[in-house]
């Protein structure tokens, strides 16, 4: 699988905004199993969601009801329905991105 496929933009089909009184809330991205697998993401893992105005970490939910190429966002500011976002696995292994600890 090429990097282009892993970084392909996904269309926001739905945005869910929760209220402070809701028991289930917080940043979440729902995506198809095919799209999650292409990005090496699993259910419950954190991923960066890069929207047109900002980026945010969100919990991944693998959902078979979401069509390939689409995502459903919850509580992620900076993206609206019909806009395109990128969902990327965080790079926690690269020494160039983290500080050097002695």
Asked if the structure places residue 79 within a domain, the reply is: yes
Band the pLDDT of 16: cuts 50, 70, 90: very high
Give the closest residue to 48 by CA, choosing from 71, 65, 15.
Answer: 71
What does the radius of gyration of the chain's CA atoms come to, in whole angstroms?
A: 14
Q: Note the pLDDT tens digit of each residue in 18-72.
A: 999 999 999 999 999 999 999 999 999 999 999 999 999 999 999 999 999 999 9
Asked if the structure places residue 101 within a domain, the reply is: no
Asked if the structure places residue 52 within a domain, the reply is: yes
Per-residue buried b or exposed e for 1-33, using 16+ beta carbons within 10 Å of the residue's own CB: eeeeebeeebebeebeeeeeeeeeeebbbbbbe
Asked if the structure places residue 19 within a domain, the reply is: yes
Asked if the structure places residue 95 within a domain, the reply is: no
Asked if the structure places residue 93 within a domain, the reply is: no
Range(s) of the domain holding residue 71:
3-88
Q: Find the helix or strand (DSSP H, E) in which 12 lies.
A: strand 10-16
Write down the pLDDT at residue 5.
60
Write down the pLDDT at residue 99.
55
Asked if the structure places residue 98 within a domain, the reply is: no
Tally the domains of the chain: 1
Write down the pLDDT at residue 7.
76
3-class DSSP state for residue 9? coil
Write down the pLDDT at residue 47.
96
Cβ-contact 48, 55 below 8 angstroms: yes
Question: Which CATH number covers residue 44?
Answer: 2.40.40.20
Token couple for 5: 């496929």
Q: Note the pLDDT tens digit of each residue in 83-99.
A: 999 999 998 777 665 55
């Amino acid at each position: 699988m090429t990097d282009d496929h892993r970084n392909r933009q996904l269309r926001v089909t739905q945005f869910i905004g929760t209220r402070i009184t809701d028991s289930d809330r917080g940043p979440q991205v729902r995506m198809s199993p095919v799209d999650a697998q292409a990005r090496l993401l699993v259910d419950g893992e954190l991923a960066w969601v890069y929207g047109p105005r900002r980026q945010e970490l969100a919990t991944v939910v693998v959902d078979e009801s979401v069509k390939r190429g689409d995502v459903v966002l919850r509580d992620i500011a900076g993206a609206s329905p019909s806009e395109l976002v990128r969902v990327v696995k965080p790079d926690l292994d690269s020494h160039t991105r983290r500080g050097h600890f002695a």
